[in-house]
Structure 1
Amino acid sequence: MRRILLQDGPGRVGRDGLADAALSILEAGLQAVEPGEAVRRTVRREGERLYAGGREYPLEGGRVLLLAAGKAAGGMAAALEEILAGKLAGGLVTLPAGAAPPRLSLPVRMAGHPLPDEASERCGKEVVRLLRDARSEDLVLVALSGGASALWSLPAPGIGLANLRETTRLLLASGAPIEEINAVRKHLDLLKGGGMPLLAPSVRWLCLILSDVVGDRLDLIASGPTMPDPSRFSDAWRVLERRGLLGRVPTAVRARLADGLAGKLPETLKAGSPQFERVQNVCVASAQDALDAILRSARARGFAAACLTSSLQGEASQVGLVLGNILREEAVYGRPLPLPCALVAAGETTVRIVGEGKGGRNLELGLSAASRITGLDRVLLASLASDGVDGTSGVAGALVDGTTWSIAESLGLDPDGCLARNDSLAFFQAVGGLLQTGWTGTNVNDFSLLLAQ
């Protein structure tokens, strides 16, 4: 089981049994979305037949190729290599640079994340080569998880990697949610928005997806390379307008989107396109599985437990204030649940980057929440990135309690200033409360756990 470690500090943040309970509860959530087990629950083989998503896939007569990308690609690919022992004819596995490389028979590549790099483009071209050599009797297995959008890149003609990279950077810094970012990326990158079936329309496709997006919209995961795209050039243009980026993105990006608006370029593939007749997309695990395990674990420890939402979105610092207020309500009035209680929220907040500090959405959420629970006893909030990497912090998240804010002030820190500078990492390095897991090998949103006794 993946362990979560709590960094000590000068005060007593998290130094009680409540913190130990919180870490164990969150660990149960991570265990429930281990990617290899998720694949094994979904896919089975009986001789020369493969079964997944209610369909049967004959394995004789053609080759089986495996293309895997994302933060969970290693575990997913390892399980599929085990299931398909002796049948895999080739493929490619791509993980974010810095992830622990798995031991696989297939080639494993590391590429840039969250911004695509030269390795991402090389992987994109390798995917194209493998697919263009595929024949109609072949089965192409695709294993996708969060992060794959950056790991495989094939910039559209006239765009180039540098322009795609800069546009992605601007969108991320603006605090745009994933659906807006992907609406743009799908119209600048040929592998995204249903682009893969265009490269090999006659083969059989089975895409296994570990969901990391709110609502499990499969067209958003990895920018939907095997899914119909509901967005249009006009949506991508409006995103840049809404975020004040039209005048800041590279000229080539603006020109391509303008050509698309004018009907000079073909749209991405939409629902009902014949290219999807031989494609099946199956979600193998999501935040819902982790939430169920978190609630079971909390109840087993004697907490009344409930899910606040599985669609947590918004600016991280503002969401932190809301969750902090909910925790205060529990501590002071014993509602909405009787004490002791555990409340959990899953989703993905955003951070608008205006400062030069280091941090992440979970750290900012926790820091903001600390202001609402200061002085309270027997309460805590732990916010965790399920992939183990929260923004630029190098850690997985943070834990705060009723002492966090006062400890910071006793050290001469300005918590509000840290938030304003996007410098939440420095705050928690001084105060304590950082959560560390290393790369978890999975990715299904973030989790905020509220405990009160």
Structure 2
Amino acid sequence: MTGVDQMEKQMIRIALEGGRPELARRGLAAAALRMLESGLRAVDPGEAVRRSVRREGASLWVGGREYRLEGGRVLLLAVGKAAGGMAAALEEILDGWIGGGLVTVPAGTAAPPLSLPVREAGHPLPDEASRACGEEAARLLRGARSGDLVLVALSGGASALWSLPAEGLGLTDLRETTRLLLESGAAIEEINAVRKHLELLKGGGVPLLAPSARFLGLILSDVVGDRLEAVGSGPTMPDPSRFADAWRILERRRILDRIPAAVRARLAAGRAGKLPETPKAGHPLFARGETLCVGSAQEAIAAILRSAQAQGFAAACLTSTLQGEASQAGLVLGNILREEALHGRPLPRPSALLAAGETTVRIAGKGRGGRNLELALGAASRLVGLEGVLLASLASDGVDGSSGVGGAVVDGESWKSAEAAGLDPDGLLAANNSLAFFQAVGGLLRTGPTGTNVNDFSLLLAE
């Protein structure tokens, strides 16, 4: 079995573990896992690249556009949770044309055998390895010449994996700012808008560092709405945000007075026009390349719905843009599932309703969990007493916050089982300790790192 085959096999297996054995025995749980596994298979990063990229001799074809390969080097920079699979597919397609590059994955993530060097770095907070990888990527970009083609294979997690602080800032400044933003419940678009004004590789950094080379960005999108400039903080894209936007985000999240002084000073200088803005749409640098989306949650959504229908469920997607506080989103989804169970609306039973997107968690306690666990726990109170229902919520990368698992499932017995065990579910939510709830009542979903990343999926099933 090749490295790619091993990654795909790992990616499509989801284990339901812990707590009540009857939950695992019920047909709804098995059906939900089959649907979610189908979704993950549909966004295999290697297959996403192969669907969009082909080579004919010395010509690389992407999205109907031809890139001639002779006359310069091909540099491949792959970074993110799906970097290994994307790089493997590109190495296979290019078959000897790659003249150098770098692959960067989160620490602990398996990567297939590659000819390029593979580095591990920190996520969700950048670490010293992130800075080293950022510096290595910058060296490669600064060495690119006219005629060279820089391929950037980008996926979720890239922002933390490459860290190249702007002048006057250090890694500690970036780590602390990122931590505060994450704990405030900021959306990824907000976090990355701030990052773009603190680091050199983000917000159009690739053409800035390699102004003479051609470039091509290939993106596996993990951002709600597939706003490509937000994926990995947009290293190949014009940046629509400004220093003033970054400042307002920190104000809105009530952390402006807590961020490091050096960060505040840089943003203040930028707001005052004393520092150059990141490159915007229309900048001549972007005439030398383009950025394309090769895969997103939409492929996974379609596969999940097909799997549900093949299993005899009426199926529909409620939304592909689910955002907001995780526990509150769970409450809403729990109410929808309750309506489905009691009144057969909006679909006739058996039914499968899907919500995709990425919620956030505002950290107020010191427990362990993640947005999918909090969403599922938030839904559980609305399912009490219902039979034949199940809600499953899964992070497509297999890593849900600090929980160590990928997600969780709840049914009509989950909340009561926790109370019978002496737990206070509302108190666990308030303490951000959703993991303790599921360790007690069962329903944890474990995949390990899947090697892909395209949002979260919440399934609502009713018999």
Range class of TM-score, shorter chain: over 0.9
Q: Quick check: 1:417 aligned with 2:436?
A: no
Note if contact 2:205-2:235 (Cα within 8 Å) is conserved in structure 1: yes
**Aligned partner letter, 1:108:** V
Q: Do the aligned partners of 2:85 and 2:111 also contact (CA within 8 Å) in 1? A: no
Aligned position for 1:303: 313
**Partner AA of 1:438 in structure 2:** G
Give yes or no for the alignment of 1:162 onto 2:172. yes
Partners of 2:20 and 2:193 in 1: how far apart? 45
Partner Cα separation in structure 2 for residue 24 and residue 393 of structure 1: 22
1:90 and 1:263 map into 2 onto residues whose CA distance is 38
SS across alignment from 1:102: coil
Separation in structure 1 between the aligned mates of residue 13 and residue 210 of structure 2, nearest angstrom: 42
Instruction: Specify the alignment match of 2:385 in structure 1.
Output: 375
Task: Pick one of 314, 330, 342 that aligns with 2:340.
Answer: 330
Question: What 5-or-longer segments of structure 2 have no aligned partner?
Answer: 1-8
State how far apart, in whole Å, the 1-side matches of 2:80 and 2:456 are: 16
Measure the CA separation in 2 of the matches of 1:180 and 1:38: 27
Distance in 2 (alpha carbons) for counterparts of 1:39 and 1:198: 25
- Corresponding residue to 1:83 among 93, 100, 108: 93
* AA partner of residue 100 (structure 1): A
- Could you tell me whether the CA contact under 8 Å between 1:13 and 1:403 is conserved in 2? no
**Cα offset, 1:12, TM superposition:** 2.8
CA contact 1:74–1:95 (8 Å) conserved in 2: yes
One-letter amino acid matched to 1:389: V
Q: Give 1:1-80 correspondences, 5 Å limit.
A: 1=9, 2-10=12-20, 12-80=22-90
Which residue identity does 1:269 align to in structure 2? P
Consecutive aligned runs of 4 or more in structure 1 exceeding 2 Å deviation: 10-15
Equivalence for 1:349: 359
Instruction: Indicate the residue corresponding to 1:261 in structure 2.
Output: 271
Aligned match of 1:136: 146
Look up the match of 2:4: none
Q: Which residue of 2 aligns with 1:392?
A: 402
Q: Which runs of 5+ in 1 are unaligned?
A: none
- Cα drift, residue 102 of structure 1: 2.6
SS in 1 for 2:66: strand
Say if 2:319 and 2:355, in contact at 8 Å, map to a contact too.
yes
* In 1: Cα distance, 2:272 partner to 2:32 partner: 54
User: Secondary structure in 1 aligned to 2:280?
Assistant: coil
Is 1:14–1:400's contact at 8 Å kept on the other side of the alignment?
no
Q: Is the Cα–Cα contact under 8 Å of residues 159 and 253 in structure 1 kept in the other structure?
A: yes
- Pick one of 104, 117, 128 that aligns with 1:107: 117
Report how far residue 409 of structure 1 moved.
Answer: 1.1
Distance 2:77 2:217 in 1: 9
Contact 1:11–1:431 at 8 Å: present in 2 too? no
TM-score of the aligned structures, taking structure 1 as reference length: 0.99
**Letter matched to residue 92 of structure 1:** L
SS at the partner of 2:23? coil
Q: Secondary structure at the match of 1:7?
A: strand
* 1:234 match: 244
What is aligned with 2:6?
none
Q: Secondary structure at the match of 1:216?
A: coil
How large is the RMSD of aligned CA atoms in angstroms?
0.8
Kept in 2: contact 1:365–1:383 (CA 8 A): yes
On the 8 A contact 2:16/2:445 being kept in 1, the answer is yes
**1:294 aligned onto 2:304:** yes
Aligned-partner Cα distance in 2 for 1:444–1:83: 23
Identical columns (%): 76
SS state of the match for residue 281, structure 2?
coil
Query: Secondary structure at the residue paired with 1:230?
Result: coil
Match of 2:189 among 174, 179, 183: 179
Q: Distance in 2 between matches of 1:174 and 1:8?
A: 31
Query: How far, CA to CA, are the matches of 2:287 and 2:195 in structure 1?
Result: 24
Counterpart code for 1:423: N
Which residue does the alignment assign to 2:3? none
Please give the alpha-carbon distance, in whole angstroms, between the structure 1 residues aligned to 2:30 and 2:16: 9
Could you report, residue by residue, the CA deviation over 1:134-177 in whole angstroms, capped at 9, with x for unpaired residues?
Answer: 11111111000000000011100001110011000000000000
Question: Residue type matched to 1:323 in 2?
Answer: L
- Per-residue CA deviation, residues 197-249 of structure 1 (Å, 9 max, x unaligned), is 01111211111000000000000000000000000000000011111111100
1:183 partner amino acid: A
Compare 389-398 and 124-133 and name the one that shifted more.
124-133
Residue aligning to 1:358:
368
Amino acid at match of 1:26: L
Give me the whole-angstrom Cα distance separating, in 1, the residues matched to 2:34 and 2:439.
22
Q: Deviations over 1:349-375 (max 9, x none)?
A: 000001110000000000110100111
Residue 439 of structure 2 corresponds to 429
Aligned pair partner of 2:156 in 114, 122, 146: 146
Letter in 1 for 2:270: G
How far did residue 86 of structure 1 move?
1.2
Residue 11 of structure 1: CA displacement? 5.8
Letter in 1 for 2:353: L
SS, match of residue 214 in structure 1? coil
The separation in 1 between residues aligned to 2:16 and 2:265, in whole angstroms, is 49
SS in 2 for 1:215: coil
1:8 partner SS: strand
Report the counterpart of residue 104 of structure 2 in structure 1: 94
